[in-house]
């Protein structure tokens, strides 16, 4: 069965025989998590990663499995610009202002910081203090973008952007949830010259191109694994006709390598990419010499090999490993059913 134009869906046993599940601590709480669980397995093209967040339903997680299979079984996408390195941004979780310098010290040479704002239980004053502290660390020439993860309504977003604009924002990522709200806030702040970027409205939508058609964003945030793989993400960017920023989904170096391949394959790359999140982990599944942590604000475009000792060190419990194996089986069944349906009734389908 065909899972994508160039990839035949591998058998479930072929994946389960090779899968390893790890649980890696984070040095800073992120998305409410202190430990990140990840499944990695090896395909004909090399190691790949399946790591949808635990709360995601199977229908959404299946796209992540499609992305993992695409990376492990399909040849690498060529880079039209011959990129061998990708400029990356630091990611600053919603920490108190007095912790900003400590967190950013983990990132080597990044000139851009994405600051998480609108955290539940915090206030806009907390966001302002955090962004101010980030600006102090970066200096006047550094670049700051903020990410609200769709937490504001339009009025809240407008008020927040006015409060934060003094820090020279590069763009505002997903300030509101719906495409209609994004279009309205984009219109309201257009005079300020601050672009609006869409993440969840692309990644979680049944129609990832709707945001472009509605004029709701200036920039697309694309993530290889959640969008179903490098080839599908490239197709979305091509059809949307908007600048793209490649971001991670809090992945190990294996998942980051997938994102780096996507970034290298984009026709143009005008912004630093959010692919430095391995720095949020206390460990990795690949040895330090191959780990895709930023050096001088860059990561290389390469496929790392996993380290057997690190797989053993961070091995998840038997209970959690069984949970991930069962999840893999359910998502694989969804992909198989979708592939069979396409063969029976080959109507045009969504890019997701």
d(CA 331, CA 325): 10
Q: Over the stretch 234-285, which tens digit does the pLDDT of each residue have?
A: 999 999 999 999 999 999 999 999 999 999 999 999 999 999 999 889 999 9
Domain 85-305 falls in which CATH fold? TIM Barrel (3.20.20)
Same fold, 2-76+309-344 and 85-305: no
What pLDDT does residue 279 have? 86
Q: What is the chain's mean pLDDT, rounded?
A: 93
Residues of each annotated binding site for Mg(2+): 147, 173, 199
pTM: 0.92
The top-scoring range by mean pLDDT among 7-11, 177-181, 342-346 is 177-181
What pLDDT does residue 299 have? 97
Summarize the confidence of residues 341-352 as an average pLDDT.
43
Does the annotation count 114 as an active-site position? no
Just give the CATH number of 2-76+309-344. 3.30.390.10
Residues of each annotated binding site: 147, 173, 199
**Which residue ranges make up each domain of the chain?**
2-76+309-344, 85-305
d(CA 313, CA 209): 42
Find the catalytic residue in 106, 114, 203, 223: 223
What pLDDT does residue 7 have? 75
Residue 165, pLDDT > 50, answer yes
Find the catalytic residue in 36, 66, 106, 116: 116
Residue 120: helix, strand or coil by DSSP?
A: coil
Summarize the confidence of residues 328-332 as an average pLDDT.
98
What pLDDT does residue 2 have? 38
Residue 98, pLDDT > 80, answer yes
Residue 29, pLDDT > 90, answer no
Contact 98, 137 (CB under 8 A): no
d(CA 264, CA 230): 10
Summarize the confidence of residues 63-69 as an average pLDDT.
97
Residue 97, pLDDT > 60, answer yes
Does the annotation count 204 as an active-site position? no
Residue 352, pLDDT > 50, answer no
């Amino acid at each position: 069965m065909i899972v994508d134009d160039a990839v035949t869906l591998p058998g479930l046993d072929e994946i389960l025989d090779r899968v390893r599940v790890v649980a890696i601590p984070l040095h800073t709480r992120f998305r409410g998590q202190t430990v990140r669980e990840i499944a990695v397995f090896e395909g004909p093209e090399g190691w790949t990663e399946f790591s949808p967040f635990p709360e995601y339903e199977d229908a959404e997680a299946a796209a992540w499995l499609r992305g993992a299979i695409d990376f492990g079984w399909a040849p690498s996408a060529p880079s039209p610009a011959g990129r061998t390195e990708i400029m990356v941004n630091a990611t600053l979780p919603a920490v108190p202002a007095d912790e900003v310098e400590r967190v950013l010290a983990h990132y080597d040479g990044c000139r851009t910081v994405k600051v998480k704002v609108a955290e539940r239980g915090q206030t806009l004053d907390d966001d302002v203090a955090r962004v101010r502290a980030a600006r102090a660390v970066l200096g006047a020439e550094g670049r700051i973008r903020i990410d609200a993860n769709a937490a504001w309504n339009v009025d809240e977003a407008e008020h927040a952007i006015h409060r934060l604009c003094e820090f020279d924002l590069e763009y505002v990522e997903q300030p509101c949830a719906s495409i209609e709200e994004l279009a309205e806030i984009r219109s309201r702040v257009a005079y300020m010259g601050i672009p609006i970027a869409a993440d969840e409205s692309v990644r979680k939508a049944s129609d990832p191109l709707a945001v472009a058609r509605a004029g709701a964003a200036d920039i697309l945030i694309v993530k290889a694994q959640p969008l179903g793989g490098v080839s599908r993400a490239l197709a979305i960017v091509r059809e949307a006709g908007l600048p793209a920023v490649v971001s991670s989904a809090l992945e190990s170096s294996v998942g980051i390598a997938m994102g780096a391949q996507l970034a290298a394959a984009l026709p143009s790359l005008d912004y630093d990419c959010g692919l430095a999140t391995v720095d949020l982990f206390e460990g990795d599944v690949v040895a330090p010499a191959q780990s895709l942590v930023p050096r001088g604000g860059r990561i290389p475009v390469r496929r790392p090999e996993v380290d057997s000792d690190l797989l053993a060190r961070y091995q998840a419990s038997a209970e959690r490993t069984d949970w991930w194996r069962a999840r893999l089986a359910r998502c694989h069944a969804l992909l198989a059913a979708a592939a069979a349906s396409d063969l029976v009734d080959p109507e045009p389908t969504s890019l997701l």
